Amino acid sequence: MSRQNFYKTTALAFAMMFGSAAANAAPTELVVAHALSATSHYAVGAEAMNADLAKRSNGKFKLTQSYGGSLGGERELAEGTQIGTVDLAIISTGPVGNFVPDTLILDIPFLFSSYEHAHAVLDGPIGQKLLDKFPEHGLHALAWGENGFRNLTNNVRAVKEPADVHGLKIRTMENPIHIEAFRTLGILPTPMAFTELFTALEQGTVDGEENPIGVILSANFADVQKYLSLTQHIYSPAVILIAPSVWDGLSEEERSWFLESAKAGVKAMREKVRSDADNGVAILRDKGMKVVDDVDTASFQTALQPAFDEFSKKFGKDNLDAIKNFKQ
């Protein structure tokens, strides 16, 4: 064999050896954490994101789930991504406003008229402008996910109109917009981490709570709550966070993989939320919940007018109108 052919053969052997090693290299494993169950829409979204990311990265990255609040409640998960102890997290916007105040506008009651309306706003320039605010506060958000429209449950009485909620002790998220709205209605809001909620309902520490149908289902709240009122008082987004320490270590191409995979996760999450919303009420009825489906929405909106006036001052009427009147 000539010296030239020897070098070519040796180079090819090394290339094959190192190429094989690279192909068989263990994937970089990252944990995506959330506070809901393994059957929830968050879990479905995380699973879809992992599948898409593995495909795009040719197995370079793998996402594993930590669910049920095993790494903490939503506030702790946001803090964890901020300081880099949590790789990725899916959380509701409830506590996010304490970190990124601009996002609080999304939590105003009766701001969104439908799922389609909410998706158009969040997937468009308004939603992107809000996502761009996260790095200013030591966070990085990949995409807006979804919880869905929130409904009220309690153990005291059926709720159809504002007078029915007066004096009820209702668990709320740690969110000043929700708290102000509920106080305006005469509710006694009790901020509490989601991970503490089931026990609080079981022991009677609070009378009730409010969540989308999918959360009520996956958290088994029918076991500890008698009444469900389809108030749909707030559309609740979620957000997919990634630790800045992880994001900063990615190449531009790798960042594009995560962004596109987050979209796949959002799609799956929204499909699950919609399925739960369409089918879950019947399941909750079968589990024994007494469902009020003729809620007087107009009277709730009227009762909330003082809060709406304050929200207009806080966020600007033009900004609220831009969301309410947004068309794709």
- Per the domain annotation, does 146 fall within a domain? yes
Nearest to 273 by CA among 35, 106, 44: 44
- Per the domain annotation, does 22 fall within a domain? no
Residues 6+ apart with CB under 8 A from 172: 178, 179, 182, 189, 190, 191, 192, 210
Low pLDDT (below 70) residues in the chain:
1-24
- Helix or strand or coil: residue 142? strand
Look at the chain and report how many structural domains it folds into: 1
CA distances (Å), origin 166, targets 67, 183, 223, 224: 34, 9, 24, 21
Contact (CB, 8 A) for 80 and 104: no
- Per the domain annotation, does 165 fall within a domain? yes
Half-sphere exposure of 62 (CA within 13 A, CB side): 7
- Per the domain annotation, does 3 fall within a domain? no
For residue 120 the two structure tokens come to: 């158009």
CATH code, domain carrying 190: 3.40.190.170
Amino acid in the structure at residue 139: L
Query: Which pLDDT belongs to residue 94?
Result: 86
Helix intervals (H) in 162-251: 176-184, 197-203, 213-218, 244-247
Per residue, the 3-state secondary structure of 57-102, as one string, reads: CCCCEEEEEECCCCCCCHHHHHHHHHHCCCCEEEEECCCHHHCCHH
- Per the domain annotation, does 115 fall within a domain? yes
- Per the domain annotation, does 12 fall within a domain? no
* pTM of structure: 0.88
Beta bridge partners of residue 239, listed in sequence order: 91, 144
Its domain, for residue 312, covers 29-324
Nearest to 61 by CA among 260, 267, 278, 203: 260
- Per the domain annotation, does 211 fall within a domain? yes
Query: Which pLDDT belongs to residue 25?
Result: 74
